[in-house]
């Protein structure tokens, strides 16, 4: 939705030069294999699932990918795509959610309620702050709304799920922006499982656009902050992919120094 809005404004005369996407879920077709790889190999952290579970996931992967391609990619059939999502989620997501690890940072244990705080204890402090009367006034919250501020809105999440939002091929909007000379930064905390670096690297390398060959053939290299490796990056003039070591889904919270330097270099027009 945000990318589509950028496209519309760009065509209406508002100049858009650059955008960034952090730990996004952009191309759902590539996510099943990535979920298996991140949970079952040390590509991010140590494997978090049993050998039996990982073997089961590997065996189911071709079927899940076939169903995704036929029902959600080649054509978008809402009924079939929903059935596919239920099947694939049961095979690839439920084991991780029950593992005791944070799905948004598998290097850590989930030390709070998954549904309410998404395994981030600080979320309840954010909710308490945003729920203070004086803050609600400053934010312009309708006084008739008495409900407390939720760190994670089940209603909003359910609305996205009902619409099968995550299965929409939003990578095509990235292509359209790149073809209009809008630069893109795709960055990912390396320990995130739910929107992980394997999936994001896969779709950026597979993306169909005029700079595809140059970008996909560019090798990964390290990028550093204060002489210390901050992550890996692949970049051309238009498109940059970057990982952030030691970070999960909330990169600025997990690695504030590296995040600020990444943004500052971007604003200065410097490569990572």
Scanning 13-121, the segments in alpha helix (DSSP H) are 31-40, 51-68, 78-92, 94-97, 114-117
Contact 183, 176 (CB under 8 A): no
C-alpha–C-alpha distance, residues 16 and 14, integer Å: 6
The DSSP 8-state label assigned to residue 72 in this structure reads: I
Residues 237 and 230: beta-carbon distance below 8 Å: no
pLDDT of residue 1: 45
Q: Which two tokens stand for residue 269?
A: 């027009």
CB 117 within 8 A of CB 123: yes
Side-chain-side CA neighbours of 256 within 13 Å: the count stands at 1
- 263 Cβ contact list (under 8 Å, min separation 6): 20
C-beta of residue 113 within 8 angstroms of C-beta of residue 120: no
- How confident is the model at residue 8, as a pLDDT? 52
- DSSP annotation of 69 reads I
- Comparing CA positions, the residue from 90, 87, 37 lying closest to residue 64 is 87
Whether CATH 1.10.287 fits 28-101? yes
What is the C-alpha separation between 152 and 79, in angstroms, rounded? Answer: 27
The second-level CATH assignment, the architecture, of 2-25+169-267 is 3-Layer(aba) Sandwich (3.40)
Decide if 169 contacts 73 (C-beta within 8 A): yes
233 neighbors 223 (Cβ within 8 angstroms): yes
In angstroms, the CA 254 to CA 18 distance is 24
pLDDT at position 29, please? 86
Residue 99 φ/ψ, nearest 5 degrees: -80, -15
- Name 175's Cβ contacts closer than 8 Å, sequence gap at least 6: 207, 208, 209
Interatomic CA distance for residues 73 and 167, integer angstroms: 8
What distance in Å separates the CA atoms of residue 115 and residue 120, rounded to the nearest whole number?
A: 10
- pLDDT lower than 50: segments of the chain: 1
Q: What pLDDT is attached to residue 12?
A: 58
Domain boundaries in the chain? Answer: 2-25+169-267, 28-101, 111-156
Q: Say how many C-beta atoms besides its own lie within 10 A of residue 131's C-beta.
A: 14
Instruction: List alpha helices for the chain, DSSP H.
Output: 2-11, 31-40, 51-68, 78-92, 94-97, 114-117, 122-130, 133-139, 154-162, 171-178, 197-206, 212-217, 251-254, 256-267
């Amino acid at each position: 939705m945000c990318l589509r809005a950028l496209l519309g404004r760009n065509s209406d005369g508002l100049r858009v030069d650059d955008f960034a996407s952090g730990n996004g879920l952009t191309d759902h077709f590539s996510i099943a294999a990535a979920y298996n790889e991140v949970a079952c190999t040390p590509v991010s952290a140590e494997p978090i699932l049993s050998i039996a579970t990982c073997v089961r996931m590997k065996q189911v992967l071709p079927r899940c990918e076939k169903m995704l391609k036929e029902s959600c990619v080649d054509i978008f059939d809402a009924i079939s795509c929903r059935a596919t999502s239920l099947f694939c989620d049961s095979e690839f997501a439920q084991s991780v959610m029950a593992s005791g690890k944070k799905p948004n940072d598998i290097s850590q244990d989930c030390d709070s309620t998954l549904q309410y705080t998404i395994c981030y204890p600080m979320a309840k402090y954010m909710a308490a702050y945003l729920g203070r009367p004086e803050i609600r006034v400053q934010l312009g919250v309708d006084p008739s709304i008495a409900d407390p501020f939720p760190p994670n809105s089940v209603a909003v999440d359910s609305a996205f799920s009902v619409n099968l939002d995550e299965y929409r091929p939003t990578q095509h909007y990235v292509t359209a922006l790149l073809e209009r000379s809008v630069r893109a930064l795709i960055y990912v905390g390396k320990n995130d499982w739910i929107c992980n670096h394997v999936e994001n690297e896969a779709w950026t390398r597979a993306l169909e656009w005029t700079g595809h060959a140059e970008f996909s053939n560019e090798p990964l290299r390290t990028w550093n902050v204060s002489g210390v490796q901050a992550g890996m990056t692949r970049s051309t003039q238009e498109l940059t992919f970057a990982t952030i070591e030691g970070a999960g889904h909330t990169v600025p919270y997990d690695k504030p120094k590296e995040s600020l330097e990444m943004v500052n270099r971007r604003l200065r027009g410097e490569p990572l």
